[in-house]
């Protein structure tokens, strides 16, 4: 085996503190209901054995239950298992309280997910003893001021990736420091899949190039490791695993969308259409709140029979008007009905989603140039439609979700389309009013 390449690295002090809440959804449920504390618990989206756990308590994990375990299997693994329905709005409330508590001790640099936070350490707080003391104060503050069930594992390292890996080493309630002097050797017992960004496909790609573990990756030269990874700046991971704190690559919002798995008795054309309209309205409301306009609407479905995904799209004039979005969506449904009939003789859809693409930021607003046009002029109608859409946003925020809406969503014809925590995205509390 070749010796690891020798490089003169720049100074690599401890720069990042990464906090990962343990069994977050389940811990919130245990905090809200003392009867659930200390007991094996899973959080599930609906009360059905055919769904999967979206979170498992520390006690449930001791039985081999984890996120993604089917509910029927979790019940088999633990006869005393308790099941709590997901309450996503509460998870956002507790998340906000946790962020506020962390800010009492150190500025929050990145909110990475609903249960993960990264904080950059300054020169006066990154000595090992100082960083460890800071981590302990944050953990104690969360327990005292947010909830005694909300434990966290903390990792401290020279860069954010390594701090994340360190937080995974000891769970629950761990605290691990990865110092530059022990890198990358201390990572060699980990699996490639433990590194964020390495999934099954990347693991296979690296294996084809003779890389089967972290040691083999790190023993390559940076350029060779980058070539095995592929893509632009493929050597970034090599430097990160050696403790170099690289600047973040800029990102931007590229799309806004929602999807929904339909109940078995609501998979025909009309329930699908009504559900898609609700999803489009939620997306349009988010679009306005984030000050974007969209130029492309995409409707995508997964058919029940063969589980294939089909999609179609419609161009838009740059807009954030709910009426324009719904008009574009309605124009796509004849194509969906035709496709369902062609494939299966009738339309049966398991999942439907609506995505707004080609987003452009709205740089300031001004009064409409078309306010005094004839009321039936298309530009005047769009101006009124956007004003009405914004008024509906304000009413729903003040009086609750569905206070006002466009089109029907009651009477048993449509599934309840609620706001959920998406992986890597935390809904604003406003979304629970949409």
| pLDDT higher than threshold 60 for residue 367 | no
Arithmetic mean of pLDDT, 312-336: 92
Which range is least confidently modeled, 132-141, 308-317, 366-375? Answer: 366-375
| pLDDT higher than threshold 90 for residue 76 | yes
| pLDDT higher than threshold 90 for residue 73 | yes
| pLDDT higher than threshold 50 for residue 9 | yes
pLDDT at 271: 92
Higher-confidence position of 248 and 39: 39
Looking up tokens 């294996």, which residue turns up? 207
| pLDDT-based confidence at residue 380 (cuts at 50, 70, 90) | very low
Question: Tokens at residue 363, please?
Answer: 């740089």
pLDDT at 335: 93
| pLDDT-based confidence at residue 4 (cuts at 50, 70, 90) | low
Higher-confidence position of 61 and 371: 61
Arithmetic mean of pLDDT, 309-322: 91
| pLDDT higher than threshold 70 for residue 257 | yes
Distance, CA of 107 to CA of 102 (rounded, Å): 7
- The answer to whether 135 and 17 are in contact (CB under 8 A) is yes
Arithmetic mean of pLDDT, 55-66: 96
Q: In sequence order, which residues have a C-beta less than 8 Å from that of residue 150 and are 6 or more positions away?
A: 21, 24, 27, 28, 31, 94, 98, 142, 143
Task: Find the catalytic residue in 29, 80, 101, 116.
Answer: 116
Active site residue 182: no
Over residues 113-154, the pLDDT tens digits come to 999 999 999 999 999 999 999 999 999 999 999 999 999 999
pLDDT at 65: 96
Q: Which among 113, 130, 240, 139 has a CA at the least distance from the CA of 121?
A: 130
Over residues 158-203, the pLDDT tens digits come to 999 999 999 999 999 999 999 999 999 999 999 999 998 898 999 9
Higher-confidence position of 132 and 411: 132
Question: Tokens at residue 223, please?
Answer: 């350029």
| pLDDT higher than threshold 90 for residue 42 | yes
pLDDT at 263: 85
Q: Which among 286, 301, 300 has a CA at the least distance from the CA of 255?
A: 286
Arithmetic mean of pLDDT, 347-361: 91
- The answer to whether 279 and 417 are in contact (CB under 8 A) is yes
Cα 271 from chain centre: 27
Name 293's bridge partners.
Answer: 360
Arithmetic mean of pLDDT, 36-47: 91
Looking up tokens 């449920």, which residue turns up? 29
pLDDT at 370: 47
| pLDDT-based confidence at residue 361 (cuts at 50, 70, 90) | confident
Q: Which range in 27-36, 292-301, 345-354 is most confidently predicted, on average pLDDT?
A: 27-36
Over residues 84-95, the pLDDT tens digits come to 999 988 999 999
| pLDDT-based confidence at residue 373 (cuts at 50, 70, 90) | very low
Question: What residue ranges define each of the domains in the chain, with the CATH number in brackets?
Answer: 1-183 (3.30.70.270), 255-433 (3.30.1490.100)
Q: Which among 73, 77, 67 has a CA at the least distance from the CA of 44?
A: 67
| pLDDT-based confidence at residue 365 (cuts at 50, 70, 90) | very low
| pLDDT-based confidence at residue 43 (cuts at 50, 70, 90) | very high
Cα 65 from chain centre: 22
Average pLDDT value over all residues in the chain: 85
Question: CA quadruple 343, 346, 352, 357: dihedral positive or negative?
Answer: positive
């Amino acid at each position: 085996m070749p010796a690891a390449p020798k490089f003169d690295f720049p100074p690599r002090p401890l720069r990042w503190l990464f906090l990962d809440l343990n069994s977050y959804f389940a811990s919130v449920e245990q905090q809200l209901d003392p009867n659930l504390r200390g007991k094996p618990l899973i959080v599930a989206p609906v009360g059905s054995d055919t769904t999967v756990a979206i979170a498992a308590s520390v006690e449930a994990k001791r039985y081999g239950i984890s996120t993604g375990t089917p509910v029927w299997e979790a019940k088999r693994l633990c006869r005393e298992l308790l099941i709590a329905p997901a309450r996503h709005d509460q998870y956002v409330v507790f998340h906000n309280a946790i962020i506020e508590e962390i800010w009492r001790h150190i500025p929050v640099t990145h909110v990475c997910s609903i249960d993960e936070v990264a904080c950059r350490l300054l020169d006066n707080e990154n000595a090992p003893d100082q960083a460890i003391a800071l981590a302990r104060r944050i953990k104690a503050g969360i327990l005292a001021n947010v909830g005694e069930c909300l434990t966290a594992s903390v990792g401290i390292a020279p860069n954010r990736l390594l701090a994340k890996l360190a937080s995974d080493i000891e769970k629950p309630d761990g605290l691990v420091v990865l110092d530059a002097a022990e890198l990358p050797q201390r990572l060699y017992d980990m699996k490639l899949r433990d590194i964020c960004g390495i999934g099954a496909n990347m693991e296979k790609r690296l294996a084809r190039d003779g890389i089967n573990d972290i040691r083999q990756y790190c023993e390559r030269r940076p350029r060779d490791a980058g070539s095995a990874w592929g893509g632009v700046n493929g050597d970034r991971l090599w430097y990160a695993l050696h403790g170099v704190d690289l600047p973040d690559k800029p990102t931007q919002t590229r799309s806004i969308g929602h999807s929904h798995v339909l109940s078995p008795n609501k998979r025909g054309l009309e329930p699908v259409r009504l559900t898609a309209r609700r999803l489009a309205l939620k997306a349009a409301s988010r679009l306005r709140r984030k000050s974007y306009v969209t130029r492309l609407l995409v409707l995508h479905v997964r058919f029940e029979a063969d589980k294939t995904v089909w999609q179609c799209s419609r161009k838009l004039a740059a807009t954030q008007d709910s009426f324009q979005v719904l008009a574009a969506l309605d124009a796509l449904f004849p194509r969906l009905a035709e496709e369902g009939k062609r494939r299966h003789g009738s339309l049966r859809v398991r999942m439907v989603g609506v995505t707004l693409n080609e987003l452009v930021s709205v740089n300031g607003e001004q009064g409409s140039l078309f306010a005094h046009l004839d009321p039936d002029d298309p530009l005047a109608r769009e101006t009124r439609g956007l004003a009405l859409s914004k008024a509906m946003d304000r009413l729903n925020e003040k009086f609750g979700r569905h206070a006002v809406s466009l089109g029907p969503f009651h009477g048993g014809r449509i599934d309840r389309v609620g706001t959920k925590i998406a992986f890597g995205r935390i809904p604003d509390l406003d979304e629970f009013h949409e």
